[in-house]
Amino acid sequence: MQIPTIQLKRSIKDRILDECIQKKPNEACGFVWGTANFSWIHVEAFDSVPNCASNPSIQFSMDPVSLIPILTSKIGSGLEVVGIVHSHPTAAAIPSHEDLLTSWHQLPSHWIVSLQQPTPYIAAYQYVRLEGVDQDFSHSMHYRPIPITIIQG
């Protein structure tokens, strides 16, 4: 399976980072929108979703009341959800055990923004299910880093 390359507009990167910093010490979450094929993901927009987790400083749960308007807002725009974004306010930008349990594993990309250091760091991953492992779902999921290229815009 080929790993795509992400093309991320600088303005969208700044929006994602601003949202994550603003929500700290809680985890921020949202969606990135764009177009994708097997070799690239081109990001055109970001929508924040309220985090309604019972312990939002260490986990995220997207507010279901907010999801329908956000997910239907771009119908007819030619854009699709190309990734889910969340922040790790005090941890590295590496998928946690809980991240691997996501119901959103079929999206093309999963983004984690680490706020652990003074300079925020964004990483993106592709989650894949390992063949022949059907025991605990979290043990059957694996992640691969996706390179991000910042472009003008």
Say yes or no: domain 5-37+47-151 is CATH 2.60.40.420.
Answer: no
Q: Where are the beta strands (DSSP E) in 28-153?
A: 29-36, 40-49, 80-88, 110-114, 121-129, 141-146, 148-151
Structure confidence by residue, pLDDT tens digits, 34-82: 999 889 999 999 999 999 999 999 999 999 999 999 999 999 999 999 9
Q: What pLDDT does 132 receive? A: 59
Structure confidence by residue, pLDDT tens digits, 73-114: 999 999 999 999 999 999 999 999 888 888 787 899 999 999
Contact 122, 148 (CB under 8 A): yes
Tell me the pTM: 0.91
Q: How many CA atoms lie within 13 A of 146 on its CB side?
A: 33
With a cut of 90, say whether residue 128 has pLDDT above it: no
Domain ranges of the chain: 5-37+47-151
With a cut of 80, say whether residue 119 has pLDDT above it: yes
How far is 132 from 109, CA to CA, in rounded Å? 23
Largest CA distance in the chain: 44
With a cut of 70, say whether residue 138 has pLDDT above it: no
Structure confidence by residue, pLDDT tens digits, 16-46: 999 999 999 999 999 999 999 889 999 999 9
